[in-house]
Homo-oligomer: A and B are copies of this chain.
Amino acid sequence: MTIHFTISRYLHKNLILESIKPCLTFTFATVVSLFSLATLGNDDVTQWVDPFIGTGGDGHTFPGAVIPFGMVQLSPDTAAVSRGIDPQAQIYKHSAGYHYDDDTITGFSHTHFSGTGHSDLGDLLIMPMTGTVHIQPGTPDNPDAGYRSRFSHDNESATPGYYSVELTDYKIKAELTATARTGLHKYTFTENGKGHVLLDLTASIYNFKNKVIWSDVRVIDPQTLLVYRSTNGWAKQRETYFAIRFSRPFDDIELINEDNNRYRCNGCLSKDSKKNKPSTIVNSAIQFTAGKAIKVLTHFNDVNKEPLLIKVGLSAVSRKNALENLTTELPHWNFDQVRQQAKQQWQQQLSVVKAEGDRAQKRQLYTALYHALQAPSIYQDVNGQYRGVDGEIHQTTDFQHYTLFSLWDTYRALHPLLTYIAPEKVSDMIQSMLVHYQQSYDKMLPIWSFQAHETWTMIGYHAVSVISDAYLKGIQGFDTELAMKAMIATANNSRYDAIDDYKKFGYVPMDKLSESVSITLEYAYDDFAIARMAEKMGHKTVAKTFFERANSYKNLFDDDVKFMRGKSSQGKWNPDFDAEEAKLMGPFTEGNSFQYTFYVPHDVDGLINLIGGDKAFEQRLDLLFNKELSHEKIKDHEDIAGLIGQYAHGNEPSHHIAYLYNNAGKPWRTQERIRQIMDTLSSDQPDGLAGNDDVGQMSAWYVFSAMGFYPVAPGDLSYSIGAPQLPHISLNLNNGKTFSVDAKHLSTANKYIKSVSLNGQPLLRSYLTHSDIINGGKLKFIMSDQPNKNWATSQAARPPSMSLKNKN
Q: Contact residues of A with B, CB < 8 Å? A: 3-5, 118, 213-214, 216, 218, 220, 226, 228, 230, 232, 234, 236-237, 271, 274-275, 277-283, 285-286, 288, 290-291, 318-320, 390-393, 441-442, 455-459, 494-498, 500, 511-515, 584-585, 589
Contact = CB atoms under 8 A, between A and B. Distances in A.
A754 B290 CA distance: 60
Given A274-B497, A318-B392, A495-B286, A281 B457 contact: yes
A407 to B, nearest CB: 13
Contacts of A494: 285
Contacts of A226: 441
- Which of A280, A495, A496 has the most chain B CB within a 10 Å cutoff? A280
B442 A280 contact: no
A325 to B, nearest CB: 14
Given A3-B280, A214-B214, A234-B281, 13 more contacts: A3-B281, A4-B281, A214-B232, A228-B391, A236-B290, A237-B290, A274-B498, A274-B513, A275-B511, A277-B497, A280-B589, A283-B496, A320-B390
Copies of this chain in the oligomer: 2
A442 B286 contact: yes
A118 B285 contact: no
A392 B320 contact: yes
Contacts of A286: 442, 456, 495
Nearest to A456: B283
Contact of A118 (B218, B281, B455): B281
A3 B220 CA distance: 28
Contact of A283 (B213, B228, B495, B585): B495
Contacts of A280: 3-4, 456-459, 515, 589
A6 to B, nearest CB: 11
Nearest to A230: B214
Given A4-B280, A281-B3, A236 B216 contact: yes
Nearest to A213: B214
Nearest to A441: B218
Contacts of A232: 214, 290-291
B441 A220 contact: yes
12 contacts: A3-B280, A4-B279, A4-B280, A4-B281, A5-B279, A237-B290, A274-B497, A277-B497, A280-B459, A280-B589, A283-B456, A318-B391
A313 to B, nearest CB: 15
Contacts of A275: 511-513
List of 4 A-B pairs having minimum Cβ-Cβ separation, nearest first: A283-B456, A285-B495, A236-B290, A4-B279
A392 B383 CA distance: 15
Nearest to A514: B277
A83 to B, nearest CB: 15
Given A5-B281, A214-B237, A283-B496, A393 B393 contact: yes
Given A118-B281, A281-B455, A319 B3 contact: no
Nearest to A237: B214
Contacts of A279: 3-5, 584-585
B214 A274 contact: no
A285 B496 contact: yes
A279 to B, nearest CB: 5
A442 B286 CA distance: 8
Contacts of A455: 281
B392 A512 contact: no
Nearest to A408: B280
Contacts of A282: 456
A286 B271 CA distance: 54
A100 B576 CA distance: 66
A643 to B, nearest CB: 21
A513 B318 contact: no
A216 B232 CA distance: 12
Contacts of A218: 441
A707 B278 CA distance: 40
Contacts of A230: 213-214
Contacts of A589: 280
A285 B441 CA distance: 13
Given A280-B458, A515-B280, A390 B319 contact: yes
Nearest to A284: B456
A286 to B, nearest CB: 6
A620 B236 CA distance: 63
A455 B230 CA distance: 22
Contact of A512 (B274, B513, B514): B274
Contacts of A456: 280-283, 286
Contacts of A585: 278-279
A559 to B, nearest CB: 27
A159 to B, nearest CB: 35
A290 B391 CA distance: 13
A237 B220 contact: no
